[in-house]
Amino acid sequence: MPEDYEAAEDERVLAPLRGDGGPGPMPESTRSAVRAAFAGRRTDSVFADVHEDNADSPGEGLRAGVSALGTPRYVELRASGVEVHLEITALDGQRDIVGHISPADASTVEVRCPYRVTRHEIDANGAFVARGLPKGPVSLLFQRTGEAPVTTRWITT
């Protein structure tokens, strides 16, 4: 053994591998949120991923990751043959989402948050509004007529 060897150092490395000490069990609230997110997934849907997000490229004079108070966030998501445009606005600790799906072949959108799901009608032009959403991650699920549903990735609002 080297001269500076200490058994305590081995113990510090080995304890987490055995499950000793560490952060402890996952809180039930976290476990239920994970179960809800897993249960809410749709394997039959088309996945729309972020194509553009103004949070990634702030306006002139703003640092990355910082937006002017009340400035909407614009997100464009794309899947094969589908585009989704979102305007997300913060107001009094809540979020409003105004969106548009193209082509306009969806009848409803589910706005999924970790602790609730709300359903909103989509008009004939593909537009919808969801108001009073809690701050935090959201995912959208568009129910389309005669086509596979479209699911968006989780976006932190």
**Residue 120, exposed/middle/buried by CB under 10 A (0-12, 13-18, 19+)?**
middle
Which pLDDT score is estimated for 46? 86
Q: Which CATH number fits domain 44-156: 2.40.360, 2.60.40, 1.10.3210, 3.50.50?
A: 2.60.40
Q: What does pTM read for this prediction?
A: 0.68
Give residue-wise pLDDT tens across range 23-69: 566 777 776 666 666 555 667 788 899 999 998 776 555 444 444 55
Can the peptide bond before residue 25 be classed as cis, meaning omega within 30 degrees of 0? no
Answer whether residue 20 shows pLDDT above 70: no
Q: Which of 91, 95, 60, 61 minimizes the C-alpha distance to 75?
A: 95
Provide the residue ranges of all domains of the chain, joining segments of one domain with +. Answer: 44-156
